[in-house]
Amino acid sequence: MKQVRWAAVAAVVMLAGTVSVAEAASQTGKASYYKHGKRTASGERFNAGDYTAAHRTLPFGTRVLVTNLDTGISVIVRVNDRGPFVKSRIIDVSYGAAKVLGITRTGVAQVKIVPLKRVAEAPAAAPPAAPAPVAPTQTVAESSGEVFSLR
Q: What is the pLDDT averaged over residues 45-69?
A: 96
Tally of domains in the chain = 1
Q: What is the pLDDT of residue 87?
A: 93
Host domain of residue 98:
2-118
Would the pLDDT of 48 be above 90?
yes
pTM above 0.85, yes or no: no
Closest among 48, 64, 79 to 112, alpha carbons compared: 64
**Residue 123 counted as domain residue:** no
> Residue 113's domain is classified under what CATH number?
2.40.40.10
Quick one: pLDDT at residue 49? 94
pLDDT score of 19: 37
Does 41 reside within a domain? yes
60 lies in some domain: yes
Confidence band, pLDDT 50/70/90 cuts, at residue 142: very low
**In the predicted model, is pLDDT for residue 132 greater than 80?**
no
Question: How many C-alpha atoms does 85 have within 13 Å on its Cβ side?
Answer: 3
